Homo-oligomer: A and B are copies of this chain.
Amino acid sequence: MIVIMADVSAAQATLAQAKANHLEHVYAWKNRVGFANLKRMSEAPFINEQQVVDVILDHPAAMQVSRTFQPDDTVIQTKHSIIGGQHFNLIAGPDAIESAEHVLAMGKAAKAAGATILRGGSYKPRTSPYSFQGLGEQGLVWHRAAADTLGMDMMTEIMSPADVELVGQYTDIFQVGTRNMQNFSLLKALGRQNKPVLLKRGMSATVDEFLSAAEYIASEGNQQIILMERGIRSFDQKYLRNTMDVSVIPVLQKLTHLPVLADPSHAAGVSDHVTPIGLAAVAAGAQGLMIEIHDQPAKAWVDGKQALTPDQMMTLFTKAKAIHEL
């Protein structure tokens, strides 16, 4: 149940009363109060009905992230980036952090192409336990240093609630990978800290499941959530690893106020087709792109096949900005 109150102060008063009544999962946005667990006004007798403008009973289960609750776009401000709304964001970096020099060089190229966020993995979710699992804290140190040197935001993947504190000492933005989209313990832990979280869509997650996963983060108090489409699993993997679901971009943007970005590198899985797929996502309305780059893709420690060279990134980002501005 979402209750639209006369004004912001009435909403805040209602929120305070709900908490005084030990109600869980009550949230306010401007003059609105959302009660995730209530179905009718009679369940909240403490609400001053004279201050109620309207009541919405039929809202999505993932209430907070829905436009029904918050019609206005969420815009997230970090030290070097403004994400969401009409803004357009470019994120780039190596798949895995390899060395201090390498992440700095990749960051320089990324910045030159217009990126404000430097991505890179130090904890890698690899299919096999025997594949390189990331450099761990040493990677975080080098990644942080490169971001600071270049004046960029740092973004890195997190795989376990136990790592939130350590990784949070370094990163500006947490990334949750496709395999962990429904790792609810992790999502809750990220909801209890206050840095932005970029949440990738699970490889066979429905729209509703994706929004509910985001709601897990929001339910614990963190509304700084960025959604990212990264390709879904389909029936033909001969030529590409995944199928970029560009259609989901406008669908999500109608349903949620959260920024929706796209990752063409994982969608394609091979560098050949990253550029057209990335441009397609932007034409469909994506509010930004994230790509993986490497100066010597054949020598990349992880996923070199899908990495663009800095030059290819420059071409992609230049065209992407042109399409965004049309």
Please give the residue numbers on chain A whose beta carbons come within 8 Å of chain B beta carbons, in ascending order: 25, 36-37, 61-63, 125-130, 159-163, 179-180, 182-186, 188, 203-204, 206-209, 212, 215-216, 219-220, 231-240, 242-247, 249-251, 254-255, 267-268, 272-273, 276-277, 279-285, 319, 322-323, 326
User: Do A245 and B239 contact each other (CB < 8 Å), given the known contacts A183-B183, A250-B277?
Assistant: no
The CA of A250 and the CA of B279, in the complex, are separated in Å by: 12
Q: Is the CB of A215 within 8 A of B128?
A: yes
Evaluate contact between B129 and A215: CB separation under 8 angstroms. Answer: yes
Contact B235 A206 (CB under 8 A): yes
Q: With the chains together, A180 CA to B202 CA distance in Å?
A: 12
Select from chain B the residue with minimum beta-carbon distance to A129. Answer: B219
CA of A308 to CA of B284, assembled, Å: 17
Stoichiometry (number of copies): 4
Supposing A128-B215, A212-B127 touch, asked if A250 and B235 sit within 8 A by C-beta, the answer is no
Q: How far is the CB of A286 from chain B (nearest CB, A)?
A: 9
How distant is the Cα of A267 from the Cα of B236 in the complex, in angstroms?
17
Q: What B residues does A280 contact at CB under 8 A?
A: 246, 280-281, 283-284
Contact in complex: A182, B125 (CB < 8 Å): yes
B251 contacts A130, C-beta separation under 8 Å: no
Q: How far is the CB of A167 from chain B (nearest CB, A)?
A: 12
Assuming the A-B contacts A212-B129, A246-B244, are A283 and B272 also in contact, with contact meaning beta carbons closer than 8 angstroms in the complex?
Answer: no
B276 & A235 in contact (Cβ 8 Å cutoff): no
Measured between alpha carbons, how far is A125 from B184 in the docked complex, in Å? 7
Given A162-B162, A235-B235, 18 further pairs, Cβ under 8 A: A25-B130, A61-B130, A125-B182, A127-B182, A129-B212, A129-B219, A130-B219, A207-B239, A231-B247, A232-B234, A232-B243, A240-B247, A242-B247, A250-B277, A279-B283, A280-B281, A322-B326, A323-B326
In the bound complex, do residue B235 and residue A128 qualify as a contact, i.e. CB atoms below 8 Å apart?
A: no
Chain B residues lying within 8 Å of A237, measured Cβ to Cβ, are 235
How long is the Cα–Cα vector from A125 to B285 in the complex, in angstroms?
Answer: 32
Residues in B neighbouring A231, C-beta threshold 8 A: 247
Is B204's CB under 8 angstroms from A129's CB?
Answer: no
Contacting pair B233 A204 (CB below 8 A): yes
Of the candidates B207, B235, B272, the one whose C-beta lies within 8 Å of that of A254 is B272
Interface pair B251/A240, CB less than 8 Å apart = yes
Q: CA of A212 to CA of B37 in the docked complex: distance in angstroms? A: 39
State the CA gap A235–B242 with chains docked (Å).
10
A37, B133: Cα distance in complex, Å: 13
Given A159-B184, A184-B125, A284-B280: A273 touches B247 (CB 8 Å cut-off): yes
Q: Return the 7 tightest CB-CB contacts between A and B, nearest first.
A: A160-B185, A283-B283, A204-B204, A179-B182, A129-B219, A280-B284, A279-B283
CA distance A279 to B61 in the complex (A): 31
Cα-based distance from A285 to B279 in the complex (angstroms): 9
Cβ–Cβ < 8 Å partners of A268 in chain B: 247
Contact indicator A216/B129 (Cβ below 8 Å): yes
CB distance from A106 to the nearest CB of B (A): 25
Neighbouring B residues of A242 by C-beta, 8 Å: 247
Q: How far is the CA of A239 from the CA of B273 in the complex (A)?
A: 27
